[in-house]
Structure 1
Amino acid sequence: METPEGDVLAGVGPRLRALRHQRGATLAALAEETGLTASTLSRLENGRLRPTLEQLLPLARAHGVPLDDLVAAPPTGDPRVHLRPVRRSGLTLVPLTRRAGGVQAYKVVYPPAGRASTKKPRSHEGYEWFYVLNGSVRFVLGEREFLLGVGEAAEFDTRVPHWIGSADDRPAELLVLFGPQGERAHLGARRTS
């Protein structure tokens, strides 16, 4: 008979794999970041190794999620959303979704153009949609460049080389939806008549 602890730990592997894929990290890169071996990480993700606290803590840190998210701890009854910003590559990311896998939502703050890193387009698996909340952004997609302001949105396949950054001396804030398997954001309303 499965124990409640066993049920909780059984779901850790798929969550770890989904978080790693969401970040686009390899087992080797994650091993270097956490100090765990690639073999250990693979066995954790595949459920062949029962995770320990000593393994979960560096993994939670590396993925930028609370330990509770890795083990799917039950909610404590507090309905407030406690956002925990993460800084990566000069950006501030605020995860808005609390589950691993599927479409992920973030608020992303891009630093002013003078402080941004050099414009280096990147590509990776997935599909992205973003909406400009504040400021304006320069968006490079393939060979084309766009300027988007407050209230404008873009949707694109992330396999096409792309770059996003603030367009001026103010930070730019975006609402971003990212689907690692290429899920698209479908906007529309259902007809009622």
Structure 2
Amino acid sequence: MGNSAHWSADAAAATGERIRALRGQRGISLSELARRAGVGKATLSGLETGTRNPTAETLYAIAGQLGVPLATLLSTPGEPLGADVPEVQGTAVAAQLLEVFQDGGISTELYRLEIRPGVLQTSPAHPAGVVEYLTVFSGTARVGPVGDPIVVRSGEHASFASDGPHVYAALGEEPVHASLLIRHPLEVSEVSGGSEVNRS
């Protein structure tokens, strides 16, 4: 994973079409979605027309306001993931969507994750009931709710509720290489949870 995102024109256009279609299905104007997601109207317009490459934070904010998993913006539900699914870049995180599967009313996304050292990424809240599971293969990460992040070392895994603002950071000078599972209720319900670290 590199430090700059590269989206093909087709991938950017496809993501923009998905955002626009979901917004239309919900009867939300472009201005209103931009306001709710906390992004500029020009930025959202550029995303919908495929002329801007979104950051992870922007995509998460939009997905949260549309009430869908991030994967819904990156791929077509029910279809196999293609080779052109773009890597999503944030302030500190680079994430590559590897798989999406559904089971018992839950949509689960699997990502390959790299957290770059020296910067902190704050991601916006996901819908109620969303939980993330991080497995660290190398490096040391600090992740979790803004007010109560947890440290996860190489060989450990952690889970935390991500329905509030949450952070990702690499501790030390080495990047963190990890996998991330995001479990997203298909029918959003009020579910709350705490943080937990498990050692292998």
TM-score when normalising by structure 2: 0.50
Displacement of 1:156 in angstroms is 1.5
Where do residues 69-84 of structure 1 align in structure 2 (5 Å cutoff)? 69-70=75-76, 84=86
Q: 1:27 aligns with which of 2, 9, 33?
A: 33
Contact 1:69–1:99 under 8 Å retained in 2: no
Contact 2:100–2:110 under 8 Å retained in 1: no
Query: 1:139 is aligned with what amino acid?
Result: V
| Comparing 86-95 and 99-108, the one that deviates more | 99-108
Contact 1:121–1:140 under 8 Å retained in 2: no
Where do residues 31-50 of structure 1 align in structure 2 (5 Å cutoff)? 32-35=42-45
RMSD in angstroms over aligned alpha carbons? Answer: 4.6
1:8-34 Cα distance to aligned partner (Å, 9 max, x none): xxxx7699539xxxxxxx722575324
Displacement of 1:56 in angstroms is 6.5
Q: 1:108 aligns with which of 89, 105, 113?
A: 113
Judged with a 3 Å threshold, the aligned counterparts in structure 2 of structure 1 residues 80 and 59 are, in CA distance, closer, same or farther, namely closer
TM-score when normalising by structure 1: 0.51
The unaligned stretches of length 5 or more in structure 1 are 1-11, 19-25, 37-54, 185-193
Displacement of 1:98 in angstroms is 5.8
Contact 1:131–1:151 under 8 Å retained in 2: yes
Residue aligning to 2:50: 58
Residues in 2 aligned to 1:61 and 1:121: alpha-carbon distance in whole angstroms: 17
Residues in 1 aligned to 2:22 and 2:147: alpha-carbon distance in whole angstroms: 33
Judged with a 3 Å threshold, the aligned counterparts in structure 2 of structure 1 residues 93 and 148 are, in CA distance, closer, same or farther, namely same
Contact 2:101–2:108 under 8 Å retained in 1: no
Query: 1:35 is aligned with what amino acid?
Result: S
1:23-63 Cα distance to aligned partner (Å, 9 max, x none): xxx72257532427xxxxxxxxxxxxxxxxxx975189546
Judged with a 3 Å threshold, the aligned counterparts in structure 2 of structure 1 residues 179 and 71 are, in CA distance, closer, same or farther, namely closer
Percent identity, please. Answer: 17
Query: 2:153 is aligned with what amino acid?
Result: G
Does the alignment pair 1:170 with 2:174? Answer: yes
Residues in 2 aligned to 1:68 and 1:167: alpha-carbon distance in whole angstroms: 29
Greater share of residues in strand:
2
- What is the SS of the residue equivalent to 2:174? coil
Query: 1:177 is aligned with what amino acid?
Result: L
Q: 1:94 aligns with which of 90, 93, 96?
A: 96
Query: 2:50 is aligned with what amino acid?
Result: P
